[in-house]
Structure 1
Amino acid sequence: MRKILVLLAFLFTVVSFSQELNCTVNVIAQQTGNENNVVFKTLEKQLTEFVNNTQWTNKSFGQQERINCSMVINVREYSNDLFSASLQVSSSRPIYNSTYSSPVYNYNDKDFNFQYLEFQNLVYNPIQFESNLISVLSFHVYMILGMDGDSFALNGGTEYLKQAQTIANYSQQLNGQGWKLEDGLQSRFALIDNLMSPTFKEMRSTMYNYHIGGLDVMSESSKKGKAQVISALSELQKVHRSRPNSYLMRVFFDAKSDEIMDVLSGGPSVNVTEAIDILNRIAPMHSQKWRNIKF
């Protein structure tokens, strides 16, 4: 009996503390001219462990429920323990009853400067600034969790997006780029501030309707799913009217433009003429892709 209780306790611990992400972290240092320096491999290994082994939420994630994502750190300059880099973050979520994974978050963080000593402890503190390295990665982890949550339930990622906003707020004490209002309209601050603003509420409802009402029903009725994708995209006109050419819209279409082109081109025939007109208005930076839609 005691052995059974011990086994159950062990299994409960494994389930309760299963991590949320299945994240590939790559550190590329070719621009430094010293890419073989062992510090880059150590950094890559430590960050992989940090992102994948930290418990980011109080919820249980099965192995098959982990969010697939990647972080590519491109180091431009390295001197002593100071790094100047950019960070490309992307994530995807599975589509119901298919082998397809839909891109959800795609963000190029161009101002990623940080200090790192080889083998230093990397610990996330939810309420206190530790370092720019920890803050930037943790911010994007919660963006991944938040955007993923919004794709499964209406505003389902709110608690994670609030934590991303908390990280942005307490990281403003640093002089690093990206955390303050004055850092521009394409900063981390602007990204989370816009996403949490009522002005952009249709961005979040579109994430839900596009995936749950559109892509997730395609295995049952591809025609219905395709029509719902078009309906979801049409909601973004409200955002465009109030904030034309917004950065948040650009982030959305950076992740979704190729997929939208494929969805509207393939499958059963539906009237996509109006959808193409809408896309050309709200996402003109991808006009070449909209011209490639075949129907």
Structure 2
Amino acid sequence: IHCQIQLIIETGNSNFDFGSRVIFTARRPIYDTVTETTSIILSDESWRFNYPEGRTLIHDELQFDNLTGTLDFFMNIILGYDFDSFSELGGTEYFRKAQQVVDLAQTTASPGWTRAANNRRNKFTLVSDLLNASYEPLRTAYYSYHRLGLDQFSSDPELARQEVLDALTMIRDSKRRATSNYLFDIFFDTKAREIAGIFGEAEAPVRREAYSILLETDQGHLTEYSNLQN
């Protein structure tokens, strides 16, 4: 898996305590092409950790550390999304491993690992939603989007677009029943530009149908989809 980590250090002190923002961008290949698709973009806006220069990073599944624990958590989430894109609900094993990191973190006071009333967009909520059966239709749509849609694009673009359209319909229906938009926002923050490109060259009826779904489902990226109205 190709993964890029962008770390922005915002604060630091003489005790080697750092406050930062971090963005993880993962990619997967598209079948029968030399191109890749961005599979998921994840971020932590308030990552705090301690790192003295030269310290060895050790993977420890029994003792929590907010530096290695955060890396373990996001790597398992990325693996889960990657496996979900190749087989229906295939990433569950890795989401459960991420849940184990969250459970271990409950023994500490590290921020972002508990269900906070004033911040529902944290690591606790992310993995809880991914393992919640209510969001399985979204995960199934994620598989359809990649394996039945993108991976068929080189051989049958029209069929691939229809599969992507069907996936977006599943996402719309799932969002109507959802109590949280977190996973949907992650999906569209990752995929909005790609979706606009997929339907930009489609026949007018398909473009307009896609736009109708996106108008309801992804209000945050309507500028990206403006060319689909015509």
TM-score w.r.t. the length of structure 1 is 0.74
2:58 and 2:124 map into 1 onto residues whose CA distance is 22
Counterpart secondary structure, 1:91? strand
SS of corresponding position for 2:174: helix
Q: Identity percentage over the alignment?
A: 27
Aligned to 2:64: 130
**Map of 1:23 onto structure 2:** none
Deviations along 1:179-208, whole A, 9 cap, x unmatched? 001262110111111111011111110111
1:209 and 1:228 in contact (8 A); partners too: yes
Describe the superposition over 1:238-290 as per-residue Cα deviations: whole angstroms up to 9, x where unpaired.
22111266111000111100100000103566622122111111110111112
Q: State how 1:58-97 maps to structure 2 within 5 Å.
A: 67-80=1-14, 81-97=16-32
Task: List aligned pairs for 1:159-238, cutoff 5 A.
Answer: 159-182=93-116, 184-238=119-173
Larger radius of gyration: 1
Amino acid at match of 2:70: V
* Aligned position for 2:186: 251
Which stretch of structure 1 is more off in the superposition, 263-272 or 94-103?
Answer: 263-272
Distance 1:276 1:267 in 2: 12
Amino acid across the alignment from 1:144: I
1:222, 1:267 within 8 Å by CA — same for their partners in 2? Answer: no
- Look up the equivalent residue of 1:143 and give its one-letter code: I
Runs of 4+ in 1 over 2 A off after TM superposition: 266-270, 292-295
What per-residue deviation string (whole Å, max 9, x for no partner) do you get for residues 54-109 of structure 1? xxxxxxxxxxxxx0011111000111210000111110100001122111110121
Deviation at 1:149, TM superposition (A): 0.3
Q: Flag the structure with more relative contact order, 1 or 2, with Cα contacts below 8 A and sequence separation at least 6.
A: 2
Q: 1:277 to 1:270 in 2, by over 3 A?
A: closer
Secondary structure of residue in 2 paired with 1:137: helix
Look up the match of 2:85: 151
Question: Superposition RMSD on alpha carbons, in Å?
Answer: 1.6
Equivalent of 1:273, from 186, 208, 229? 208
Superposition map of 1:92-111 within 5 A: 92-111=27-46
Residue identity opposite 1:253 in structure 2: F
Q: How many matched pairs?
A: 228
SS of the residue corresponding to residue 49 of structure 2 reads strand
Q: Deviations over 1:135-182 (max 9, x none)?
A: 111101001100000000011111111101111111122212110012
Q: Which amino acid aligns with 2:38?
A: P
Counterpart of 1:139 (choices 50, 73, 90) is: 73
Which residue of 153, 170, 177 corresponds with 1:242? 177
Give the stretch that moved more between structures: 164-173 or 176-185: 176-185
Secondary structure of the equivalent of 2:116? helix
Letter in 2 for 1:103: T
Are positions 1:115 and 2:50 aligned together?
yes
